[in-house]
Amino acid sequence: MPTEIDRISATRRPVERAAGYHTWRDLTFIHWTLPAEMITPLLPPGLTLDTWEGEAWVGLVPFYMANVRPWWSPAIPGVSYFCETNVRTYVHFQGRDPGVWFFSLEASNSLAVKAARWGWHLPYFRAQMSLVRNGDIVRYSSRRLWPEPTPTGCEIEMELGPLLGANEVNRPMPAGQAIPGTLEHFLVERYILYAQARDQSLLSGRVSHTPYPVREARVLRCEQSLLSAAGIDPTTPPRHLAASDGVQVEVFPLKRVG
């Protein structure tokens, strides 16, 4: 683990007005490990792969977006609510600002896809998607519609468990909160995203929210082709599973890195 990287500063709220607000619900974090040399060539210049014990981690994260709105508008029915699934890895910039690099993001709302591709320079794709939760069983389904490569998608069924550390005695943090220095904190507590502008310059954006209430989770079904569509082919089953009921999120504007 690269202990020299400050992983706490990025979790603090920026001192500025938020550009927008989201609610993220019913998140599942499914992670695979791969050799770092397989993922590094897929990153843009300027970013360095953030590894845990020398291995790269790639995540598949399905969830539900609610109350999506800019700071100046209320949420709009039919526009502000949709499913999303992202494929991501972890990066840093010159040994600081650990964050996320997205290989793809699926969304079930055409306006959100077009706005994110144009305004946030992120590789969003329109997909036919669903999320159904019945008690502690959550089912996600996604089938990409446009742009190419299509068809690709996922069918996932998860069983949610108790809050992380719920049975630990003298735990230094509340049950569910990932402890800094642990793998869960490395994978889940990410507040910076990176993107590449049309002129190839590097951009970063921040979000702010309370720490995730992290649950244990068990995969019942995981059929997906989203990783291979991004040029990533794990040869082993997922190495880490987690879930969260959700958080309220502030979103801050993109800025040029450096």
Based on the structure, what is the number of domains in the chain? 1
Question: Which regions in the chain score pLDDT beneath 50?
Answer: 1-2
Task: Give the CATH number, domain containing residue 20.
Answer: 2.40.400.10
Which pLDDT score is estimated for 78?
84
Domain assignment present for 18? yes
Which pLDDT score is estimated for 4?
83
Which pLDDT score is estimated for 217?
98
Domain assignment present for 74? yes
Which pLDDT score is estimated for 1?
43
Closest Cα to residue 93, out of 180, 12, 196?
196
Bridge partners of 88, per DSSP, are 59, 102
Which pLDDT score is estimated for 147?
95
What is the C-alpha separation between 105 and 112, in angstroms, rounded? 11
What is the C-alpha separation between 243 and 215, in angstroms, rounded? 5
What is the C-alpha separation between 39 and 101, in angstroms, rounded? 11
Domain assignment present for 62? yes
Phi and psi torsions of 5, nearest 5°: -80, 130
Domain assignment present for 2? no
Domain assignment present for 1? no
The parent domain of residue 161 ranges over 9-256
Domain assignment present for 4? no
Domain assignment present for 58? yes
Answer whether 165's CB lies under 8 Å from 181's CB: no
Which pLDDT score is estimated for 240?
98
